[in-house]
Amino acid sequence: MLTTSPAFKDNAHRALGDPVLQRALALLKTGFHERRQRAVDRLPEFDALRDAAKAIKDHTLAHLDWYLERFEVNCRAAGGQVHWCRTPEEARQTVLALCRRFNARTATKGKTMIAEEIGLNEFLEENGVEPVETDLGEYIIQLRHEAPSHIIAPAIHLTRTEVAETFRAAHTDLDPARPLDEPRALVAEARARLRQRFLDADVGITGANFLIAETGSSVIVTNEGNGDLTQLLPKAHIVLASLEKVVPTAEDLAVILRVLARSATGQDMSVYTTVSTGPKRPSDLDGPGEYHVVLLDNGRSELLGSEFQEILRCIRCGACMNNCPVYGAIGGHAYGWVYPGPMGAVLTPALIGIEHAGHLPNASTFCGKCESVCTMHIPLPKLMRHWREREYERKLSPRTMRAGLKLWAFLAKRPALYHALTGFAAKLLAALGRRHGSFYNLPLAGGWTATREMPAPQGKTFREQWRERQHNAGTAR
Amino acid sequence: MSARDDILGTVRRSLKRGGLTAEQEAPLLARLARPQAGPIPARSAGRDRRGLVELFDSQACEVHATVARVASLADVPAAIGDYLARQNLPAEMTAAPDKLLDGIPWDRRPLLRLKRGKPDPADAVGLSAAFAGIAETGTLMLISGAHSPSTLNFLPDTHVVVLPAARLVGPLEEAWKRLRAATGAMKLAGAAMPRTVNFITGPSRSADIELTLQLGAHGPRRLHIVVVEDDAVA
Amino acid sequence: MTDSAATSSKDRPRVGLFVTCLVDLFRPSIGFAAVKLLEQAGCTVEVPEQTCCGQPAYNSGDRVDAKALARRTIAAFEPYDYVVAPSGSCGGMLKEHYPQLLADEPEWGLRAKELATRTYELIAFLYDVRGMRSVAARCTGTATYHDACSGLRELNVRDQPRALLALVAGLRLVELPGAETCCGFGGTFCVKYPEISDRMVAAKAEDVVKTGADLLLAGDLGCLMNMAGKLKRDGHQVAVRHIAEVLAGDLDTPPIAAAKAKG
């Protein structure tokens, strides 16, 4: 997928001025973060489960090579195949080769962020395979040629009216008189359209929320059931998964499932948790004839052992973005690539390079809300700060900012000079701002004063006044 | 170098070690051989069968499933027939060729027509037997096999599932335990693991449009669970 | 026992006040309110040589300068029984971040950890450490309180300010919906991404106005300047103050960004 992350500021500007998007983002609050809180409050063991889930992931990551090998062995034992892919290109070629083997003209797709990461749809289209998104949100944005704006609610930036317009434009045989005002009607329309696509598809592609080393299975967690029809009906089921999705056992899965849905949508369990192991068995009445797991690295193996390792615990619940005030203001598209919000601000620079994604870890107030809700206790602000450090080391941050900081640090290390200058500045600004108590406009602080007053200092600095006070107390004694 | 070796090599390099020694491997092998449960919520603890039924019922209803409780298998045809009539649905079902379902005296409701096998796309009502029910979250566990086509869980608009109370467990871990026991091996790997294990918690839904909940996105719009309380039915 | 300020005892600990650079420059009255409260709480207050905690450098990826400032600050405050800051942000920097920042320097890492155990945000210190359970101040009106992020999430400052504000005679405290949501200040964030910052503070200002409170309080001057600046630009008559000013009964100085003292 192409990135517009370097244009983050322009993206954000457009997002802030888009009233439709702003209305949609307002829904996040009740739609996601209050529901999450209610679900968490209903489960006294939530924090213990969160700690256990984190420990499972940490353990698995520390032995990732071993668990991946076990996964492969067990997947094969069940008749499946594992395709190891270093790069997005290798993954795309692998998927295409599989599609060609089945003479696939269409491939249905369950929701998979890895497909977005490797730009699979465009690639399949270019090569004569039509990818059909079947998750309702993904389907809508595919019709609009847009990227997802949220990892679990890809079309959260759209209103029902926009969705209706999209359907009328794409479903050309649709009766113009048929009302599509209500979400119910829109869901019914998409369901009817996609039903035939499920039945016609030659291969089905899903993501994987988890891989289980013990059983060689992949696991998807959905609410619609599209991922199931995607994998059960065609001749082959192709699973796209990145390395870090593996967990040791079915029991470990149980622990993580308890925190996943609660954190994501506020459900105790998502509607469908499906564990898929190999192709259909000889006596089975249905299921795919072949089962392939495309295992993507794309730089993740390099994150292990680095200061960014903890992001590999992420289970893509979306709680960080649902609760992020910056995401809440600008939405997901502004981030310019597959993964938005705080987890995206940490993962994206690792996948596309800090030189392209520098804005993402910078566009955070470090308010810490993301870390506080993160199911996997990922210290997201800390990891964003590490990206800022990499950026600073490589002199990628804006030169004016670096110069300003350097000057300030130079002064802060020289107290006499610092106090002389701050003392002077405080008095000067206090004199200038005395009448109003604040500034309507201030050189070098234009970003601030464009929309808010800059409070004026009171006068003498604390240090000066404290010294006078100490001096007076001394002479009085 | 193959992509596989390359990736595994990078993983080991990043973890600052080589492949694991036999000694390092031992605890990991043990962990896989005897999977340990993590913290289990108290919600379903210490309940007898009746208590599990109560919890399952309330949890399933909360996620918009409907639950009917009947005393014995003999009561199932009437319960389902009444349900279909109430919903204005045809008295026609595609049923999994399952032993439990075969043991139900369907002739007690002569108007109810059953077709055994996997569903056609146009079939309106599917009938399955649950492998287990998880009271903690009102979740059904269904497994694929010669007796149970997985498409039945997704294609028909209405899914009716028969669940003997004896198959109810408290937490998800107990359901895995049942599957491990059923396969005869503690290890669920390879052919011991069914191709598809479906955990189903309520009917299909989507909130992708304006975050408003709509039932029946791609899977069933309705999920009706008939709990058979007769302890003799297992 | 002498009355020398340099003597500490269990009963009368020596507190090194970390004034914070914003308070020093913009609003010394907060510093003096802190001194007054600390003295009421039985502490001897001293103000060692200091400039800034180094957070701007730290959060901008400049570890070298951040470390240099951290070492200076640690050395300056080591002689005291406690380090107290009228700011969760700077307090969090000293308590949570110095040990991480200096973790790779054996000696300084230990010194940072040691100092962290004695470092507190002002209100939490008064309530949790000094057991303050009475407030002499009076303040007529309706106030609402914003939980500044660092204090809330790094130092667990949440119940203490509310408990102490409840003891202020004449003051009615109304909860601010979304009190725990960031105001959009974020240090350099508000300069780097002013548009996003503005949207966040606009939402905050709207929530504040909706409470009907005539006084907005918080424990961090950066956030207060941001919210006060927005409320004033939008023409709202909500007075904005640091919580220490109210608890100390220092209402003579004009509120933040206000022209002159109200009567």
Pairwise CA distance, residues A456 & A444, whole Å: 15
DSSP 8-state symbol, A114: H
| Residue-level pLDDT at C256 | 97
Contact A219, A273 (CB under 8 A): yes
Query: What is the per-residue pLDDT across A440-459, written as a single tens digit (0 to 9) for each?
Result: 988 778 889 999 999 999 99
Band the pLDDT of C5: cuts 50, 70, 90: very low
Report yes or no: A455 and C25 within 8 Å, Cβ to Cβ.
no
In the 3-class helix/strand/coil scheme, how is chain B assigned residue by residue? Answer: CCHHHHHHHHHHHHCCCCCCCHHHHHHHHHHHHCCCCCCCCHHHCCCCHHHHHHHHHHHHHHCCCEEEEECCHHHHHHHHHHHHHHCCCCCEEEECCCHHHHCCCHHHCCCCEEEECCCCCCCCEEEEECCEEECCCCEEEEECECCECHHHHCCCCEEEEEEEHHHEECCHHHHHHHHHHHHCCCCCCHHHCCCEEEEECCCCEECCCCCCCEECCCCCCEEEEEEECCCCCC
Q: Evaluate whether residue A245 is within a structural domain.
A: yes
The answer to whether C and B touch (≥3 CB pairs < 8 Å) is: no
Please report which confidence band the pLDDT of residue A148 belongs to, taking 50, 70 and 90 as the band edges.
Answer: confident
Contact status of C1 with chain A (Cβ, < 8 Å) = no
Whether residue C2 is predicted with pLDDT greater than 50 in this model: the reply is no
Q: What does the block give as tokens for C165?
A: 């504000």
Which chain C residues contact residue A456 at CB under 8 A?
26, 257
A364 to chain B, any CB pair closer than 8 A? The answer is no
CA pair distance B177, A135, nearest whole angstrom? 32
Residues A420 and A461 in one domain: yes
Q: What is the pTM of this model?
A: 0.95
The answer to whether domain B48-228 has CATH 3.30.590.10 is no
**What are the tens digits of pLDDT across the range B34-64?**
999 999 999 999 999 999 999 999 999 999 9
The domain ranges of chain C are 14-127, 134-247
pLDDT by residue (tens digit) across B88-145? 999 999 999 999 999 999 999 999 999 999 999 999 999 999 999 999 999 999 999 9
Quick check: is A27 in a domain? no
CA nearest to B142 within chain A? A274
**Is A219 in contact with A208 (CB distance < 8 Å)?**
yes
DSSP state for residue A295 in the 8-state scheme:
E
Any idea what DSSP says for residue A201? Answer: -
Closest partner CB to A159 (pick from B6, B12, B210):
B210
Residue-wise pLDDT for C113-131, tens only, equals 999 999 999 999 999 999 9
Residue A121: give its domain's CATH number.
Answer: 3.40.50.10420
Which of A:176-215 have CB within 8 Å of B?
183-184, 186-188, 190-191, 194-195, 198-199, 213-215
- Judge whether A344 and A360 are in contact, CB under 8 Å: yes
pLDDT at position A445 is: 82
| Of A449, A347, A373, A375, the residue nearest A116 (C-alpha) | A347
Residue A28's pLDDT is what? Answer: 81
Average pLDDT over residues A369-373: 97
Cα atoms in the 13 Å half-sphere on the side-chain side of A338: 19
What are the backbone angles phi and psi of residue A288, rounded to the nearest 5°?
-75, 145
Instruction: Give the C-alpha separation, A76 to B182, whole Å.
Output: 22
Q: Exposed/middle/buried for B9, CB within 10 Å: 0-12, 13-18, 19+?
A: middle
Partners of residue A81 on adjacent β-strands: A292
Residue A313, domain member (yes or no): no
Contacts of C190 in chain A (CB under 8 A): 447-448
- In the numeric block, the tokens 């709680």 are attached to A319
User: Does residue A446 share a domain with residue A327?
Assistant: no
Token pair in block for residue C58: 């730290």
pLDDT at B232: 87
Whether B144 sits inside 8 A of A24 (CB atoms) is no
Asked whether the beta carbons of residue B3 and residue A187 sit closer than 8 angstroms, the reply is no
Name the token pair of A438: 């604040």
Q: What is the model's pLDDT at position B85?
A: 97
Tokens of residue A265, six digits: 């949508």
A245 and A272 in a single domain? The answer is yes
What percentage of chain B carries pLDDT values higher than 90?
91
Cα separation, C96 vs C107, in Å, equals 17
For residues A263 and A310, what is the distance between their CA atoms, to the nearest angstrom?
18
Specify whether A387 is located in the same domain as A442. Answer: no
CB contact under 8 A, B190 and A78: yes
Domain that holds residue A382: 318-397
**A chain contacts of residue B199, beta-carbon cutoff 8 Å:** 269, 272-275
Q: Is CATH 1.10.800.10 correct for C134-247? A: no
Task: Quote the percentage of chain A above a pLDDT of 90.
Answer: 86
pLDDT greater at residue C7 or residue B198: B198
Label residue A134 by pLDDT band (50, 70, 90).
very high
> Hey, is the C-beta of A325 within 8 angstroms of any chain C C-beta?
yes
Gap between the Cα atoms of A268 and A417, Å rounded: 59
From the list A158, A243, A271, which residue is nearest B200 (CB)?
A271
The pLDDT of residue B222 is above 90: yes
Pick the residue from chain A with its C-alpha nearest to B212: A183
The verdict on A268 and A239 lying in the same domain is yes
For chain C, give me the number of helices (H) and strands (E)? Answer: 15, 8
Tell me the two tokens of residue A379.
Answer: 């210290």
| Residues 6 or more apart in contact with residue A100 via CB below 8 angstroms | none
Q: What is the pLDDT of residue C259?
A: 84
Which of A61, A152, A50 minimizes the C-alpha distance to A376? A50
Give the pLDDT confidence of C22-38 residue by residue, as tens digits. 999 999 999 999 999 99
Instruction: Note whether A456 and A436 are same-domain residues.
Output: yes
Strands, E, within A56-134: which ranges? 81-85, 106-109, 130-133
Query: Which residue spans of chain B are classified as CATH 3.40.50.10420?
Result: 48-228
Average pLDDT over residues C42-55: 96
The 3-class SS string of A443-472 reads CCCHHHHCCCCEECCCCCCHHHHHHHHHHH
Residue in B38, B190, B195 closest to A280 by CB: B195
Residue A186 placed within a domain: yes
Mean pLDDT of all residues belonging to chain C? 94
A434: confidence class by pLDDT, cuts 50, 70, 90: confident
Q: Number of structural domains, chain A?
A: 3
Gap between the Cα atoms of A313 and A244, Å rounded: 7
CB contact under 8 A, B38 and A137: no
Percentage of chain C lying above the pLDDT 90 cut: 94
Contacts 24+ apart (CB under 8 A), C108-112: C108/C67, C108/C70, C108/C71, C108/C74, C111/C74, C111/C78, C112/C70, C112/C74
Q: At what angle do helices A8-16 and C194-211 cross, to 10 degrees?
A: 30
Whether C196 sits inside 8 A of A369 (CB atoms) is: no
Clarify whether residues A191 and A298 are in a common domain: yes
* ipTM of model: 0.97
Give the tokens for residue C25.
């420059």
Other Cβ atoms within 10 Å of A400 Cβ, number: 9
User: Contacts of residue C69 in chain A, CB cutoff 8 Å?
Assistant: 409, 412-413
- ∠ CA A414-A417-A419, rounded to 5°: 100
- A297 plus A323 within the same structural domain: no
